[in-house]
Amino acid sequence: MEADNITFKAFENEKTTPHLEALRSLISDGLSEPYSIYVYRYFLHQWGDLCYLALDGENLIGVVICKLEKHREHGANRGYIAMLVVKEEYRGRGLATKLVKMAIDAMIVRNADEVVLETEVTNTGAIKLYEHLGFLRSKRLHRYYLNGNSAFRLVLYLKSNAEALQAAGDHDHDHLDADGEMEITND
């Protein structure tokens, strides 16, 4: 495998990037949870610019899928990394880190306050990857996945609360409050 053949690009939309099927099968092979086509379309049509692909020539070998939106009405502008997969034979070369960095950088440009995600507690590789970028584990989620495994919620603050609140221009302490629960994380 020649390293120089590997390129990265944003997904943007289905017209510019005819990789939807390849993307589905890559993720389906890589992750335990089954996702319907609606899930992919939900993310890709709203945040195609926060989805990055790694390609070896024309072959899709890695992908990160994200979203970015207000967490509750006056809450933080929260980035969320929904899926991250790199083809097995391409692992250990920093491709996943590169993909995640591209996504976070894009979120920063779009004024994200924080980035969150969940990962299986047994997935030490992924946990290490995120922790080496600056994420912290904020809580453990008991039996979060269909297969019965627990998860860690990982969080990265991109702004301090004071900044985030100022930027939001309101004094709602929603973002500050100790409650991490009420968030309807349908994710």
Partner 1 sequence: MASNSGGFNDAFARLHVSEKPTEGRQTTTTTISSPSSASFRDVTQLFRQTCQGLDVGQLVKDPNFTLFEAVGALEIMDPKMDSGLLKPGEDDTPSEIYQPVLPEEIIGIMDQLLSSEMSWHDGAALSQTVFTCLYIDNLLSLNPSSLEEAKFNLPPSEAHQPGSPTCQLLHLILRAYCVGLIKCCERVNLQILAEHTYEEEDFVTQTYNVSLLDFVTVSEINKLIVSAIEYVDSGAAPWPNNIKMALKARLAFRKLFLTELSRDVKEMVEKRSNWDGCITLLSTIGITRNLGTAVPSVFSIAVQRKLASTVPPRPIVQIPFEEAFTIVSRLCKDAKEILRVLTYSGATNLMTFFLRFTARKPQPSTFVRSLLQTLFFSNHMALGRMQIGHILLEDVKELCLPADDLFDPRNELSEMPSDTRFQIHQRMKWFVERAGNSYITLYRTICQNRSRLRRNLCHLIVDWDALQIECEEIDGELQQLIKEEPVLHNDNISYAFSLSSWVYHYKLRQMEWIIFLGFELEVYLPHEFAGMYWYLQYFLRTRLQHLERIRHFVHPGVASDSPLAATRSKECIASAQDVANAQATVNFTLLEAAALQELCSAMIFLYTALARLGLVKTPPQPYSTDSMRYELRMKPFLTIGCPDVVPFEDFKALVDNPEIETLEMLEMASENTKEGRKNFDLLSKMSATSSHAILCEEGYRLNLREYLRSCIGAGVAIVMLSKAIKMNTVADVEVEIDQGSYHPWFPVPRISSKKRPPLPAIPPMGR
Question: Whole-number minimum distance, CB 57 to partner 1, in Å?
Answer: 23
Regarding 95 and contact with partner 1 (CB under 8 A), the answer is no
Regarding 167 and contact with partner 1 (CB under 8 A), the answer is no
Regarding 166 and contact with partner 1 (CB under 8 A), the answer is no
In angstroms, rounded to a whole number, what is the distance separating the alpha carbons of residues 106 and 104?
Answer: 5
Regarding 155 and contact with partner 1 (CB under 8 A), the answer is yes
Pairing of strands 52-56, 77-86: unpaired
User: What count of other Cβ atoms lies within 10 Å of the Cβ of residue 50?
Assistant: 26
Range 6-35, binding partner 1 (CB under 8 A): 13-15, 28, 33-35
Q: Among positive and negative, which fits the CA dihedral 121, 126, 130, 131?
A: positive
- What is the H or E stretch that residue 20 is in? helix 20-30
**Interacting residues toward partner 1 by CB under 8 A:** 13-15, 28, 33-39, 41-42, 45, 82-83, 104, 117-118, 121, 128, 131-146, 148, 150-152, 155-161, 173, 176-182, 184-187
